[in-house]
C-alpha cells in the first residue's frame, strides 16, 4: 500500500474525494513527475537532439505541473474547486501532450516508451479524480 | 531591470506574449511564491494558531501553483494554451483566495499584509497575461 | 518495477551509481516528499496545534530538499560530487530530524507514524547512495 | 524593498541570521532559479544544441537546488545547521559550476551572459549567508 493511501486513511477529517481515487492520483502524479524528469535527461543524452527538443520541454512542463498538483490535492481541508479543477485540467492536458510526444519517440527510445506509460496513467488518474471531486 | 525581462529580451525565437506583460507575470509569480512561503512560516510562529490554519494551507497551495507556473510560462516554444490557460486560471483563483485570507489577518499581522500585496499583484499580473496570450 | 528503475535501465550512457541503489533512492525520495507534504497537512488538522508546529516545519523542509534531490540525482551526465554529496547530506540530516520528530508523535497520530517510516527509509536510501557514489 | 526583506522585518520571533544578508540570499536564490529556468529553455532554442547540453543540465540542477533552499531558509524557527549548511554548500557549488558553464557561452549568447550574472550573485549571497549563520 502506497504512503499516499496510508496517509489518507489516517487523515483527521473529511477528505475531498474517494480515498482510493485520490491516492491513485497522488501516486500517478508522483510517478509521472519522476518519469518526466528522468526522460528529459535521457533525451538530452541522445544523438538526434534537435528532434528531442519538444519532448524535453513537454517533460519539464509536465514535471512542474504534476509536482504542484501533488501539493494542492494533498491538502484536504480548505478545498477550493476553483483552484483544484483548473489545475487538474492543466495536468490532464500536459500529460496528454507529453504522452503523445513520447509515443512518437517510443519506437526508437525505450525511455520515452516508459515515460509515455507514466503520462497516460497520470492523465487517466487525474480525469478520474476530476470526475469524483466534490 | 529584472532577470526575467533581460532573458526574454535575448530569447532565440518568438515569445508567447508581449515581453513586458510576460516578464511582469514571471516577476510577480516569483515574488508571490516567496512571500507565501515566508508567510506560512510566520503564521506558524503566531499564538492563535487555530485561526491561522486556513492561511497556512492557502499560502502553501499558492506557492506550489506559482512555482509551477513560472516554469511553464518560462518555456516559450511548444506553447500549449490548453495547459497554460487553466494553469494561469488556477493561479488567479489561489492568489485571490490567499489574498482574501491574508487581508483578514492584515490588521493584526504585518506579514499577512505584505503577503496580501504579493498575492494581489500576482493575481493581477496573471489576469493581464491571460488577456494577451496568443 | 518502479518507473525510476525502468528509466535508469534505458539510460543512453553511464549512470552515476549502481542502478538498484540509485533507483531505490529516487523511489524513497519521492515517497518521502509525498508523505511529508501529506503529514504537514494532517498535522494542521489536529487539535493540539502548538505541539505540531515543529513537525509541520520539518515536514515542509524535508519535502523541499527531497524534491530537489530527485531532480539532481535523476540527471546522470555532468555529475558533480561537489553538488550531489552535500545535497544528499542535507537530505540525510532533514530525514533524520523529521523522522525523529514524527516518532515523538507516532503514538498519538497514525499519520506521523507513516511519515516516520517514509523518512527513515529515505534517510537509509540516501546514506546507501552516498556510500556508492563515484 | 523586496518582499523577502519586508517579511523578515515582520517575523514573530528571532531570525537565523542578519536580516539584510538573509533577504539578499532569498532574493538572489529566487532570481537565480528564475534565470536558470529561462536559460535552459533559451539554450534549447539554439542551433548548436550538442554544445548546450551541459549548460541545460546545470541550469536545471541549479534551479532545483535554489528553489529548495528558498524554502528551507525562509523557515526561521527550528533552524538546523546540519541541514542548512550542506544545502547552502550544494547551492554555492552548483551556482559556481553553472556560472562557469554560462560564462563559456556568454560571448555567443546574451541569455547565458544574463544567467551567469544571476548565478555569480547567488553564489556570493549564499557564501555570505554561510559566513554569518548562527
Asked if A49 has any chain D CB less than 8 Å from its own CB, the reply is yes
**Count of CB atoms situated within 10 Å of the CB of D106:** 17
How far is Cα D51 from Cα C33, in angstroms, rounded to an integer? 34
Average pLDDT for C89-93: 98
How far is Cα C56 from Cα C109, in angstroms, rounded to an integer? 13
Instruction: Name the residue in chain B with its Cα closest to that of C57.
Output: B41
Asked if B38 has any chain C CB less than 8 Å from its own CB, the reply is no
* Interchain contact, C53 vs B53, CB within 8 Å: no
How far is Cα C58 from Cα C60, in angstroms, rounded to an integer? 5
How far is Cα D114 from Cα D39, in angstroms, rounded to an integer? 9
Instruction: Name the residue in chain D with its Cα closest to that of A55.
Output: D44
Considering only CB atoms, B13 lies closest to which of D9, D13, D45, namely: D45
Q: Judge whether residue B107 has pLDDT over 80.
A: yes
- Predicted confidence band of residue C95 (pLDDT cuts 50, 70, 90): very high
What's residue C31's pLDDT?
Answer: 97
CA B13 to chain D, closest CA, distance in angstroms equals 7
Model pLDDT for residues A62-94, shown as the tens digit of each residue: 999 999 999 999 998 888 999 999 999 999 999
Q: Judge whether residue B114 has pLDDT over 90.
A: yes
* Interchain contact, C72 vs D82, CB within 8 Å: no
Q: Judge whether residue B71 has pLDDT over 90.
A: yes
Contacts of B45 in chain C (CB under 8 A): 53
Q: Count how many Cα atoms sit within 13 Å of the Cα of residue A113 in the half-sphere of its side chain.
A: 9
Interacting residues of C47 by C-beta distance below 8 A, sequence separation 6+: none
SS3 call for A38: helix
Considering only CB atoms, B82 lies closest to which of A67, A68, A93, namely: A93
Which of the 8 DSSP states describes residue B58? H
Max Cα–Cα distance, chain D, nearest Å: 52
Q: Judge whether residue C69 has pLDDT over 90.
A: yes
The candidate with the shortest Cα–Cα distance to A64, out of B5, B134, B74, C62, is: B74
What's residue D13's pLDDT?
Answer: 87
Average pLDDT for C27-52: 96
Helices (runs of H) and strands (runs of E) counted in chain A:
5, 0
Asked if A77 has any chain D CB less than 8 Å from its own CB, the reply is no
How far is Cα A114 from Cα A98, in angstroms, rounded to an integer? 12
What's residue D78's pLDDT?
Answer: 86
Listed as ranges, residues in chain D with pLDDT below 50 are none
Q: Judge whether residue C134 has pLDDT over 80.
A: no
How far is Cα A81 from Cα A126, in angstroms, rounded to an integer? 14
Q: C50 burial class (0-12, 13-18, 19+ CB within 10 angstroms)?
A: exposed
**Count of CB atoms situated within 10 Å of the CB of A54:** 18
Q: How far is CA D100 from CA D67, D93, D112, in A?
A: 20, 11, 10
Contact assessment for residue C28 and residue A62, using Cβ atoms and an 8 Å cutoff: no
What grid cell was written down for C66? 527531497
What's residue C3's pLDDT?
Answer: 92
Angle at D111 between CA D105 and CA D114, to 5 degrees: 95
Contact assessment for residue D45 and residue B12, using Cβ atoms and an 8 Å cutoff: yes
How far is Cα A96 from Cα A101, in angstroms, rounded to an integer? 9
Considering only CB atoms, B11 lies closest to which of D6, D71, D111, namely: D111
Angle between helices C19-44 and C110-132 (to 10 degrees): 150
What's residue D134's pLDDT?
Answer: 75
How far is Cα A39 from Cα D90, in angstroms, rounded to an integer? 24
Q: Judge whether residue C75 has pLDDT over 80.
A: yes
What's residue D1's pLDDT?
Answer: 85
Instruction: Name the residue in chain A with its Cα closest to that of D58.
Output: A41
Q: Which residue bears the cell 508523535?
A: C105
What grid cell was written down for C109? 497520530
Asked if A48 has any chain D CB less than 8 Å from its own CB, the reply is no
How far is Cα C39 from Cα C112, in angstroms, rounded to an integer? 6
Q: Judge whether residue C77 has pLDDT over 90.
A: no
How far is Cα D121 from Cα D66, in angstroms, rounded to an integer? 12
* Interchain contact, D44 vs A57, CB within 8 Å: yes
Interacting residues of C72 by C-beta distance below 8 A, sequence separation 6+: C83, C84, C87, D61, D64, D65
Pairs from C18-22 (Cβ < 8 Å, separation ≥ 24): C18/C132, C21/C125, C21/C128, C21/C129, C21/C132, C22/C73, C22/C129
CA D110 to chain C, closest CA, distance in angstroms equals 23
Lowest mean pLDDT among A18-22, C12-16, C86-90: C12-16
How far is Cα B126 from Cα C2, in angstroms, rounded to an integer? 37
Contacts of D90 in chain C (CB under 8 A): 83-84, 86-87, 90
Q: Judge whether residue B25 has pLDDT over 90.
A: yes
State ipTM: 0.96
- Predicted confidence band of residue B134 (pLDDT cuts 50, 70, 90): confident
Asked if C38 has any chain A CB less than 8 Å from its own CB, the reply is yes
Q: Which residue bears the cell 554548500?
A: D89
How far is Cα C39 from Cα C98, in angstroms, rounded to an integer? 11
Q: Count how many Cα atoms sit within 13 Å of the Cα of residue C48 in the half-sphere of its side chain.
A: 7
The candidate with the shortest Cα–Cα distance to B120, out of B109, B108, B112, is: B112
Considering only CB atoms, A72 lies closest to which of B65, B71, B83, namely: B65
Asked if B57 has any chain C CB less than 8 Å from its own CB, the reply is yes
Contact assessment for residue B39 and residue B104, using Cβ atoms and an 8 Å cutoff: no
Amino acid at each position: 500500500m502506497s504512503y499516499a493511501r496510508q496517509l489518507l486513511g489516517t487523515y483527521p477529517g473529511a477528505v475531498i474525494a474517494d480515498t482510493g481515487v485520490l491516492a491513485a492520483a497522488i501516486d500517478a502524479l508522483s510517478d509521472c513527475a519522476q518519469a518526466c524528469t528522468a526522460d528529459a535527461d535521457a533525451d538530452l543524452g541522445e544523438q538526434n537532439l534537435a528532434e528531442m527538443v519538444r519532448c524535453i520541454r513537454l517533460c519539464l512542463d509536465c514535471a512542474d505541473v504534476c509536482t504542484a498538483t501533488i501539493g494542492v490535492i494533498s491538502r484536504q481541508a480548505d478545498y477550493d474547486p476553483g483552484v483544484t479543477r483548473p489545475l487538474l485540467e492543466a495536468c490532464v492536458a500536459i500529460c496528454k501532450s507529453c504522452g503523445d510526444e513520447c509515443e512518437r519517440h517510443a519506437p526508437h527510445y525505450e525511455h520515452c516508451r516508459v515515460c509515455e506509460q507514466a503520462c497516460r496513467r497520470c492523465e487517466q488518474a487525474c480525469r478520474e479524480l476530476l470526475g469524483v471531486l466534490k
